[in-house]
Amino acid sequence: MNTIPPVVIVTGAASNIGLACARRFAADHTVILADIIDAGVEAARLPQARAFKADVSDFAQCQALVAEAQKYGRLDSLVHCAAITKPACSIEEMSIDEWEQVIRINLTGAFYLAKACIPAMSEAGGSMVLFTSRAAKTGFAALGSNAGKTKAHYCASKAGVISLVKSLATELAGRSIRVNSVAPGPVAGTMIPKEQQDAVAAKVPLGRVGTPEEMAEAAYFLCSPAAGFITGHVLDVNGGTLMD
């Protein structure tokens, strides 16, 4: 009888949505926590959690992260939350370096990590959840503020993640690897300064911003057997700010 707990890699696990995902999965998984900061993160104190320092924009480090997970005998799931953004600016104002850094971490990093995980999941199948954003579908990252400043680098990177998810889901279906995405809307503690939360919440049909824990529940569901017939899907968790 197989008694090894399922193993999941959670990136961006030091804070916010990544930390919430680590907490949710730690209840019944061995969680390999990845972030670019040191291993002394809060999530590392969770039961069955192991911290690993990794930069997802470096393919060799992604491979090392997967090798760390394989020490536990299996890799069942990937929950990829790691991403960056930059202060709002227009495309005209945006520097080439800013564009390339955001694309490299948010989109190329998702590609690197998924690519590194495929061989480890191929034998028994598995599940990947690559976080995207409501901004991927709208082309702007804020609800009505910063008019004319869309954060095009962030929006484009997250739109690319959606297309990557669909490509991966198509290619990997025959290996029983499911690939999906969660697209958060406005979430407390991420891109919304605390002093702006009430103003943002007023624009949300449900009347509030989301929580990291709600995003984590969505990711947990997509990795669970309950979602066994779901692949290539983008699950919108946005309080009704985008309905498509």
Q: Show which residues are catalytic.
A: 154
Closest CA to 122 of 195, 196, 173, 157: 173
User: Long-range contacts for 93-100 (Cβ within 8 Å, ≥24 apart)?
Assistant: 93/149, 94/152, 94/153, 98/153, 99/152, 99/153
**Residue 160, φ and ψ in degrees, nearest 5:** -60, -35
- Distance, CA of 150 to CA of 134 (rounded, Å): 13
DSSP type of residue 45:
G
Contact 54, 64 (CB under 8 A): yes
